[in-house]
Amino acid sequence: MKIGLLACDFVNPEFLDISGNLQEMFAQLFEQIKIKADWRFYQLWNKDLPLSTSECDAWLISGSRTSVYEDKEWIKHLIEFVATLHEEKRKTLGICFGHQIIAQALGGEVRRSDRGWGIGIKEIDIIKKEPWMNPPLKKIRMLFTHQDQVDKLPPHARLLGSADHCPHAIFAVGSHMLALQSHPEYSRAYLRALIQSREAIIDQPTFKAGLESLEIEPHRTEPAAWLRNFLTS
């Protein structure tokens, strides 16, 4: 399977020795679920954009330190590209910023959350089970770091998972688009480094709680299996 990684950000150099770059993080995740992926890497912020939706069999949109509503040319191009992926019903996964850009491109709304930062390991209630959610779980613990979130789902989207701090944590559109606000590709060590680097811009109670939550074991093989099942269904 040829997977196009639409990279909307990069790993800071001082963190590369923790889990590698974005491509390596996702490659490790997919190796864990035994998907033999032929990766095509696009640096969107660097004007490295795909020319056609047919260049890859499936597409994965990464997280970003940028907001989907910022006035940037590459974001405008990505919104148009996602709309085309939807029209053509091509398999697409959106992670964090990717989750938000799918909502934005298809008629939903994204804004800075009045709940503040969502960081650390948080529990998502599964409110609608899909056939590819195997093994089945009623709740799933995943890694988060974000300020923006989807405030309104796009038309025809199905809400699959909800968290206290993020009501629209997982949603799907048709059988071809899946969006997660969480980061299945992150390790706890990498998220810890990210949180610690942002201490100056996170309120202390949230900062402390976020770090403490990393002592909890998150689900990793289960969401990875879900992604595999979704892509191959």
Segment 130-159, tens digit of pLDDT = 999 999 999 999 999 999 999 999 999 999
Our separate counts of H helices and E strands in the chain read 7, 11
**Is pLDDT of 25 > 80?**
yes
pLDDT at 194: 97
What is the number of residues in the chain? 233
pLDDT at 31: 86
Residue among 57, 53, 11, 1 nearest 183 (CA): 11
**Is pLDDT of 35 > 80?**
no
Evaluate whether 151 touches 110 at the Cβ level (below 8 Å): yes
The catalytic residue positions are 96, 183, 185
**Domain CATH number, residue 93:** 3.40.50.880
- Assign 40 a pLDDT band (cuts: 50, 70, 90): very high
| Alpha carbons 94 and 2: distance in angstroms, whole number | 16
Owning domain of residue 46: 2-232
pLDDT in tens, 69-105: 999 999 999 999 999 999 999 999 999 999 999 999 9
pLDDT at 36: 80
First vs last Cα of the chain: how many Å apart? 13
| Alpha carbons 222 and 225: distance in angstroms, whole number | 5
pLDDT at 208: 97
Global pTM?
0.96
| Alpha carbons 227 and 134: distance in angstroms, whole number | 10
Specify the number of domains making up the chain.
1
